[in-house]
Amino acid sequence: MRVPLDHCLPRRLLARLEGLEVRTAAVVGWAAVPDRELLRAAAATFDAFVTVDRGIASTRPVPERLAIVVLVAPSNRVADLEPLVPALRAALERPARGTVVVLRR
């Protein structure tokens, strides 16, 4: 499972996703890429894309090869996102490609 984390997620979240091939968007070189282009680029290389950007859920069409996971928490701090990690790991184990999965705290 290859997954980029959107630039709006903290790098420290990577440690909570041990065992998955997860990179930050910045490491991949996508820090300033607009959403639609970002999703196209992610679909070419990755299986899923994780973000806290609720607006990305309205991006249509969702690339057929890519699952998008939106984390909804009080903030994008690790402490607020951590309760979503088990559900995130489950979503990434069986990615619903071509869909947007919203995980709420």
Tokens coding 15: 């440690």
Sheet (strand 21-24) strand order: 21-24, 2-5, 48-51, 67-72, 100-104
pTM of the model: 0.91
In the chain, the largest separation of any two C-alpha atoms, in whole Å, equals: 32
Taking only the tens of pLDDT, the chain with its 105 residues reads 789 999 889 999 999 999 899 999 888 888 788 877 888 899 999 999 999 998 886 766 888 999 999 999 999 999 999 999 999 999 998 888 999 999 998
If you ran DSSP here, which 8-state letter would residue 37 be given? H
